[in-house]
Each structure stands twice: as structure tokens, then as C-alpha cells.
């Protein structure tokens, strides 16, 4: 089963697909790749909009593409890519930003050093607010923070996602391999934005992982993804 946990396929809501036509083209490509399920995760910035307005716009964007969806397209679940902000810690509505049917939130870290305050903020979301966290494209933050501080974040009860694109590029591929080896990666995504950028498919990324680690790791990713969709706990997934 091919599961894509990170995408910007909804039209006109962020820097992803600009209109319905582009959304459908992206979904056609995913269908050709054999993707079974994709989570639509438009960007959410709490400094720019409210949770209520974001959900309204996201749901409207989904309604727009619904009549054009084809049987071969992957199943779409609604979610969001939530940029961490200290202002979100303690927010009672955080659970509304989770992936449809689950308690998992795709959390994007700020593009700065991951410091103690951020780590304690994420910890509070988990322990005080009962959130389940999937950290988005964990390999990316190494451009901004040390491996040590990324590990401190990932050593919390969080799951990790990597982008297929990062596996295709030589420099980031080795970071991804290291993070997979350390057990910090549970699922993958394409982070697909625009058709013109020719994002690598999920399949391309999966092939690279398989070549390095064997089929077993892809089975693990699939198992983890299915467990997330069933809203299993962190301990059930990692244990």
C-alpha cells in the first residue's frame, strides 16, 4: 500500500496547486504512481489566520475538486501542515488540526535552531493536550539546527516523516538514511506542491529506501501508516 502523508494538492489554498486543473493533474500523477491514499496537508500559520477560517477554506477547496475526482485517484484524507508556534501551545482547538479520523497532527518545525523552548512546547502539546505528533520532513531542519537538537525533538514521543524528494537528491539522501537508521522515520510523503516543479513520486523515494535497506523497511512504513490511520497510540506504533 502506498501512503502519502504530506501533500499540497488542494487548489488555491497555499503555495500548492493553484487551481482545480492542477490539483487533478497532481492526483493523476499520484494515481499513475499507484498511490492508494494521500493526506492533503495545506499550510497552516497561526500568525496569519484562525483555525476556524483555515478549516473552512480547506474544506471548501476539497469540495471544489470533489466532482472531478476519478476512481483511480488515491483516497484523500484532510489534514494540515501546522507550523509550530509557541502561541499554539495550550490552544484548546489544536485537535481540530489533526489528520481526518485520527489524533495525529503533521507538525512543521520553524526554520531556526530547535531550542529548548520549542522542545518543551512540543512536549506540552503531547503530555498536557494529548496530541499525537508526526513531525514533517524531519531531514530538512538539519539545514538550520544541529543533529543533536533534532534528536532531542525526535526523542520525544513523536513520529517522523521524510520527503521522497530528499531521497532523490544526493546531499539530503544521506541525512535521510541516517535518520532512518536511527529509527526516527515512520512514514513518507511527497510534499507535492506544483506540477511544474516535477516533484519525484513517492515510488521513486520508496525505491531508493528499498535499495538501501531492503523490502522490510517499506513494510514497516506501511504498517506504521496503517496504524496511524487507525489512530493507534505512539506506544502501539513504536512498540
For residue 165, state whether it binds Fe ion (rule: CB under 5 A): no
CA distances from 124 to 92, 130, 132, 160, 211 (A): 12, 9, 11, 18, 38
Closest separation in Å from C-beta 71 to Fe ion: 27
Contact between 33 and 202 (Cβ < 8 Å):
yes
Report d(CA 57, CA 27) in Å as an integer: 20
For residue 139, state whether it binds Fe ion (rule: CB under 5 A): no
Binding track, positions 72-101, relative to Fe ion; x by CB under 5 A? ---------x--------------------
Of 212, 238, 218, 55, whose CA–CA distance to 134 is shortest?
238
Position with the least CB separation from Fe ion: 191
For residue 4, state whether it binds Fe ion (rule: CB under 5 A): no
The angle that helices 202-213 and 20-33 make with each other, rounded to 10 degrees, is 30
Closest separation in Å from C-beta 1 to Fe ion: 22
Query: Alpha helix locations (H) across 47-156?
Result: 51-65, 116-127, 147-154
**Which of the residues 186 through 215 are near Fe ion (CB under 5 A)?**
191
Q: Given the complex with Fe ion, which of 137 and 175 has the nearer CB atom?
A: 137
Q: Given the complex with Fe ion, which of 106 and 179 has the nearer CB atom?
A: 106
| Contacts to Fe ion by CB under 5 A | 81, 191
Amino acid at each position: 500500500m502506498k501512503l502519502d502523508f504530506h501533500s499540497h494538492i488542494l487548489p488555491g489554498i497555499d503555495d500548492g496547486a493553484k487551481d482545480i486543473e492542477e490539483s487533478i493533474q497532481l492526483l493523476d500523477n499520484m494515481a499513475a504512481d499507484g498511490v492508494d491514499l494521500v493526506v492533503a496537508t495545506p499550510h497552516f500559520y497561526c500568525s496569519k489566520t484562525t483555525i476556524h477560517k483555515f478549516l473552512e477554506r480547506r474544506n471548501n477547496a476539497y469540495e471544489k475538486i470533489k466532482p472531478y475526482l476519478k476512481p483511480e485517484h488515491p483516497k484523500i484524507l484532510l489534514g494540515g501542515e501546522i507550523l509550530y508556534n509557541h502561541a499554539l501551545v495550550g490552544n484548546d482547538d489544536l485537535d481540530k488540526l489533526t489528520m481526518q479520523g485520527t489524533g495525529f497532527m503533521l507538525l512543521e518545525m520553524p526554520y531556526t535552531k530547535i531550542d529548548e523552548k520549542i522542545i518543551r512546547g512540543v512536549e506540552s502539546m503531547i503530555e498536557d493536550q494529548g496530541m499525537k505528533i508526526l513531525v514533517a520532513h524531519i531531514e530538512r531542519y538539519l539545514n538550520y539546527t544541529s543533529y543533536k537538537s533534532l534528536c532531542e525533538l525526535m526523542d520525544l514521543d513523536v513520529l517522523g516523516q521524510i520527503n521522497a524528494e530528499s531521497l532523490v537528491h544526493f546531499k539530503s539522501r544521506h541525512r535521510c538514511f541516517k535518520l532512518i537508521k536511527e529509527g526516527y522515520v515512520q512514514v513518507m510523503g511527497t510534499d507535492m506542491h506544483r506540477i511544474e516543479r516535477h516533484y519525484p513520486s513517492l515510488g521513486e523515494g520508496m525505491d531508493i529506501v528499498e535499495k538501501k535497506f531492503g523490502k522490510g523497511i517499506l513494510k514497516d512504513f506501511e504498517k506504521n501508516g496503517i496504524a496511524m490511520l487507525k489512530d493507534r497510540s505512539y506506544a502501539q506504533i513504536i512498540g
